[in-house]
Amino acid sequence: MAVTSVILGLVVSGCGGGDDGKKESKPSGGATKATQAAQQSPSSGPSARGTIMERSAGSWKSIVAAKSADDLETLTVADGKVTAKGPKLDCTGTLGPGRKGGEDEPSLTLSCKGDSDGGRGQGTVGMKGDDALAINWKGPEGGFGGPVDSFRRAG
């Protein structure tokens, strides 16, 4: 906090650029509010950042190294269309809006080329902040659920 105060003090009292010799003054609350807004956690207001569908757009990389042929390594989301790839998986799907218990919880339907989807098919997408995404897969009918894939924003 002391570093922020020093930086703020330098910015507020820094060089005035006018030829008229007048000093510019900034309201004391304005800089503090801007600093507080910049320091807020990205998970402190979903409506300000958009829905999970909006925030999930982009390229993602799995947080764990692929251990089997049925693991996913990358995920790309653009305009509700999804592509996912792994050592032996080549999948496409759609991301649609969804809610559960009043919370934003979009659904993902995925289909993969070949015989296996690694226990996926249908799942729900959740995010923590803007750089961590997880997919909880429904798994086979009558089972206890499917795999959970976790990703970090790539690049």
Please write the tens of the pLDDT for every residue from 11-27: 334 444 444 555 544 44
Contact 151, 63 (CB under 8 A): yes
- At position 61, the amino acid (one-letter code) is K
Whether residues 35 and 80 share a domain: the answer is: no
Residue 18 lies in a domain: no
Whether residues 56 and 32 share a domain: the answer is: no
Whether residues 83 and 31 share a domain: the answer is: no
Q: What range does the domain containing 29 cover?
A: 1-12+24-41
Whether residues 115 and 135 share a domain: the answer is: yes
DSSP per residue over 56-121, as a string?
Answer: T-EEEEESS---STT---EEEEETTEEEEE-SS-EEEEEEE--EETTEE--EEEEEESSS--SS-S
Please write the tens of the pLDDT for every residue from 87-145: 999 999 999 999 998 889 999 999 999 878 888 989 999 999 999 999 999 987 787 88
| Secondary-structure breakdown of the chain: helix, strand, coil percentages, each rounded to the nearest 5 | 20, 35, 45
Whether residues 117 and 98 share a domain: the answer is: yes
Whether residues 50 and 33 share a domain: the answer is: no
Task: Tell whether pTM > 0.85.
Answer: no
Whether residues 35 and 64 share a domain: the answer is: no
Residue 41 pLDDT > 60: no
